[in-house]
Amino acid sequence: MTGLRGEAAIIGIAELPAERKQTRPPSFTLDQYALLAKMVVDDAGVDATAVNGLLCHGLAESDMFVPATLSEYLGLPVNFGERVDLGGATSAGMVWRAAVAVELGLCDAVLAVVPGSSVLPKSVRQPLSPPGWHGASSSKYGSPQAEFEIPYGNVGQNGPYAQIAQRYAALFGYDTTALAKIAVDQRTNACAHPGAVFHGKPITVDDVLTSPMIADPIHMLETVMRVQGGAGVLVANADVARRARHRPVWVKGFGEHIAFKTATYAEDLMTTPISRAAGRAFAMARLTPSAVDVVSLYDCYTILVLMTLEDAGFCEKGKGAEFINSHDLTFRGDFPCNTHGGQLSFGQTGPSGGMTHVCDSARQIMGRSGENQIPGCNTGFVSGNGGIMSEAVALIFQGS
């Protein structure tokens, strides 16, 4: 298989602490990009002038020309600029695109930062329109969602993720305690990660199972809470990496798969797109799941973590609950998962939620995870997930 040679590395990371109520002043997304860009460049210890590539998501201040607007604002002309539109898989998708741009020689250093604060400055003369309730569904004329989903109340994420869990339960069985244990173990991790919104707030399996039912069988503590934050990385070639301050985190493999928008139309709802994405990533890296020291799995719901463990090859299909029950998923355990707490317990920082998973594995491999550090951590697996298990990106990182 052709693919990455593993010659592009994450050399700088930024992760703003998750805040339920933001203490920083309101900030335009343009300024959030600028702040995060400075943070990753400073973290790497390289000059901003090294940057000549730019991956981005959206701008609240502009619906179009996002890379050009950002390039101009930052004063950084780039040889490659792209806006990535993969929902929760956006951040992981940015990282492999950055690595490819570096390996092709297009760029020396690529910014991949994602603002995660919805607290924007307000103008009396130009008030922002409040966000609609359609969320990730388009209500525009001609949109399949407007016509065939929204009228039946199929809006948002809770319903369809719960439908996936129900189908899984009917086919493979459903161990509510195992699902709850995912949230509990990740909370333990959050309690050792000061930036997590639930730092200092441990929970038990009983807490999860007695929290309100949102959509059967998903409980409130199996869902994520929107918080304010932001995260990003700087991806660079070996020359820049040599001048950088931290141990480089080489991007060894990736895969991406986009299967549908609405879960109703999945060819096979029980085989999630991470299956193909992870298969490609491991083949490219010439590694197997057993080589992985830390996994940072996109976790908007506990059921996604369970199905990712199965479909990415960490355990057999249908054996996810057994795997979770027989492993300790905390940073002290035999299968560390989301050592930053995951979005379940770090908090869900909007578009940058996926980037916190990238930062989690990168920070471990750099050896900078503090209280949460896994001794000798060298190989990480990151998953990104967008929509309703509609689109997935897998990344494999190695320190050496």
Partner 1 sequence: MSDKMEKPLPTPTPTTQKFWDGLRNREVWIQYSPSSEKWVFYPRILAPGTLVDDLEWRQVSGMGKLYTFTIARKPTAPPWNDDLPQLLAVIELDEGPRITTELVNVQEDSIRVDMRVRPVFSDQPDSDITLLRYEPA
**Which residues of this chain interact with partner 1, rule CB under 8 A?**
133-135, 139, 141-142, 144, 146-156, 158-160, 162-167, 169-170, 212-216, 218, 262-265, 269
- Quote the least distance from Cβ 39 to partner 1, whole Å: 36
* Whole-number Å distance between alpha carbons of 256 and 268: 17
Nearer to partner 1 by Cβ, of 43 and 149: the residue is 149
Nearer to partner 1 by Cβ, of 144 and 370: the residue is 144
| CB of 29 closer than 8 Å to CB of 254 | no
Nearer to partner 1 by Cβ, of 268 and 334: the residue is 268
Nearer to partner 1 by Cβ, of 156 and 333: the residue is 156
The type of residue at 318 is: G
| CB of 94 closer than 8 Å to CB of 114 | yes
Nearer to partner 1 by Cβ, of 119 and 214: the residue is 214
- Quote the least distance from Cβ 131 to partner 1, whole Å: 12
- Quote the least distance from Cβ 124 to partner 1, whole Å: 25
* Whole-number Å distance between alpha carbons of 257 and 178: 27
Q: How far is CA 124 from CA 69, 129, 130, in A?
A: 24, 12, 14
Residue with tokens 């741009």: 101
Nearer to partner 1 by Cβ, of 157 and 189: the residue is 157
Per DSSP, 394 falls in state: E
Alpha-carbon torsion (273, 274, 276, 277), positive or negative: positive
Contacts of 176 (CB under 8 A, 6+ apart): 209, 217
* Whole-number Å distance between alpha carbons of 329 and 186: 7
| CB of 112 closer than 8 Å to CB of 70 | no
- Quote the least distance from Cβ 226 to partner 1, whole Å: 15
- Quote the least distance from Cβ 173 to partner 1, whole Å: 12
Nearer to partner 1 by Cβ, of 213 and 238: the residue is 213
- Quote the least distance from Cβ 153 to partner 1, whole Å: 5
Residue 398: φ, ψ to 5°: -140, 145
- Quote the least distance from Cβ 93 to partner 1, whole Å: 24
Return the axis-axis angle of helices 29-44 and 66-74, rounded to nearest 10°. 60
